[in-house]
Chains A and B, each alone.
Chain A
Amino acid sequence: MNYSNLTQRYFDAAAALAGVLTGPGTGRGAAGSRAHGTWVQFDLRVDPGEARSIQAARFLAYACPHTIAAAAWMAEAAVGRSARAAAPDSAQGLRERFAIPVEKLGRLLIVEDAWNAAIKACTGSTAG
């Protein structure tokens, strides 16, 4: 399968953005299942102040290169954003950004669901 340059770049860099976060201000959200072929988890650390900005983000994924690249990009793009703001991108936006085949849109919805679950875990409400 051919991947866009951006997909390849973030798939190659994914291991550096993968991992988990623990401690105060940390929230975790996951979606999908390994048994069904795609699972994504985000850990977000949000500052306790009014801004609720995301200080750190990590992800884990059992997924195809497109999905891993998208999740890695989300983790990287999250830092510095307000947890109350919209996600760095929507499933459809990720699909266009990474030139992902439409057949894989469902996998990107799993990325979106995992993100929203992590935001909810941090803030008690879904993003944006």
Chain B
Amino acid sequence: MNAPVYLDYAATTPVDPRVAAVMAQCLTLQGAFGNAGSGHAFGDTAGAVVESARQQVAAAVGALPAEVIFTSGATEANNLSIFGVANYYRSQGQHIVTVRTEHKAVLDPCRELERRGWRVTYLAPRPDGMVDPAQVAAALRADTVLVCVMHVNNEIGVIQDVAAIAAVCARHGAARLHVDAAQSAGKCALDFAAFGCDLMSLSAHKVYGPKGVGALLVSQRRGVRLEALHHGGGQERGLRSGTLPTHQVAGMGAAFRLAQESAGTEGARAALLRQRLWQGLSALGGVLRNGAEANSVPQILNASFADVEGESLLALVWPHIAVSAGAACTSAVREPSYVLRALGRDDRLAESSLRFSLGRFTEERDIDVAVAAVAQALTRLRKIGGA
């Protein structure tokens, strides 16, 4: 039996061979293996690699190099942003605004702050997944110090209008906007300065870079301050102490450079593939698309399949295609996606949803395999279910 076709690029991407080659140059005695903080030649070499990577990341996302704080990934970046802002500005207020469809890496820190006495407003998106900037404006209070809205939703791919939301926050004056952009790089336009965000989280492994590295952008133009979560060494402007993993950072820089160079062509190609996928799936009947098609990245398609039970659907398609399910397996019994439920999908349709996420190495024949696998599964399960 053939290996399943990989259509889960929103979960993680394989490292691009060109990125791996850059990383390999930072590991051995002949390469830039030194500690970037050391004052000798080996440290200088590693330091130059790190600063080059910082410039590459900054250039790809419209930020200043000095605004890039390398972290272990987007989850740490989100935590640093949320707790860092909360700890620094708590004397100004203890209210946060966020959205029910945010990633757990944002929601869980917010819940932790609630346990510490903070107030959090969780906005409900529209059924298409979009958040109206007016909702944000209505939720702001005099004691609001932070607004967290993700750019591209990881489950349904919708792109929030963060520039408009940033403008709302700017009018408020004291509400800083944190944007989780872990899914954005290489998939859609991403411009930290033009958007007017205060803070932004990035991830390398969603964009053909390595796992274990990400970044938090902290706006210098807007004078944002944070309280550090890690102490010891003072690296990254004192906001993220710890020896920088040169090979990881170099890999992230190379990955973001490649994403910037190829975003246009890859986006157009992905759009054609997704159209082919949707045409094939929608012809099967009882297929409902999740999320606003018009405001979504071309790499992600989320659909619910009526009249089939979610776990059985997965059991039949997973041998053929690696996709994400609309339910989380926290035990033997699955929990429907909170994102899809927030859009108003009932539990059954949320459970029977699949997220197809396409990427740099997806080909037309992969799409055809996916459509055939889903078609076969639906036919069998609808027969067994008498639908």
Please list the residues of chain A having a beta carbon within 8 angstroms of any beta carbon in chain B. Answer: 1, 3, 11, 14-15, 18, 20, 34-35, 37-39, 41, 60-65, 68, 101-104
Contacts and interface: CB of A to CB of B under 8 A. Distances in A.
B348 A35 contact: yes
Given A3-B315, A11-B315, A34-B348, A62 B385 contact: yes
B265 interface: no
Nearest to A72: B384
A60 B315 contact: no
Contacts of A18: 383-384, 386
27 contacts: A1-B311, A1-B329, A1-B332, A3-B315, A11-B315, A14-B380, A14-B384, A15-B383, A15-B384, A18-B384, A18-B386, A20-B386, A37-B347, A37-B351, A39-B385, A41-B386, A61-B384, A62-B307, A62-B385, A62-B387, A63-B312, A64-B312, A65-B311, A65-B312, A65-B315, A68-B384, A103-B332
B108 to A, nearest CB: 24
A61 B381 CA distance: 9
B51 interface: no
Nearest first, the 6 A-B pairs at minimum CB distance are: A101-B332, A60-B386, A103-B332, A64-B311, A62-B385, A18-B384
Given A15-B383, A37-B351, 13 more contacts: A3-B315, A11-B312, A11-B315, A35-B346, A37-B347, A60-B384, A60-B385, A64-B311, A65-B311, A68-B384, A101-B331, A101-B332, A103-B332
Interface residues of B, number: 20
A104 B332 contact: yes
Contacts of B309: 37-38, 62-64
Interface of B: 307-309, 311-312, 315, 329, 331-333, 346-348, 351, 380, 383-387
A71 to B, nearest CB: 9
A62 B347 CA distance: 14
A15 B347 CA distance: 25
A68 to B, nearest CB: 6
Nearest to B312: A65
Contacts of B333: 101, 103-104
B318 to A, nearest CB: 9
B349 to A, nearest CB: 11
Nearest to A107: B333
A3 B307 CA distance: 22
Contacts of A64: 309, 311-312
A35 B333 CA distance: 16
Contacts of A68: 312, 384
A87 B315 CA distance: 28
A60 B332 CA distance: 23
Contacts of A39: 385
B383 to A, nearest CB: 5
Nearest to B346: A35
Contacts of A35: 346, 348
A65 B317 CA distance: 13
A3, A14, A35, A64: residue with the most chain B Cβ atoms closer than 10 Å: A64
A104 B329 CA distance: 13
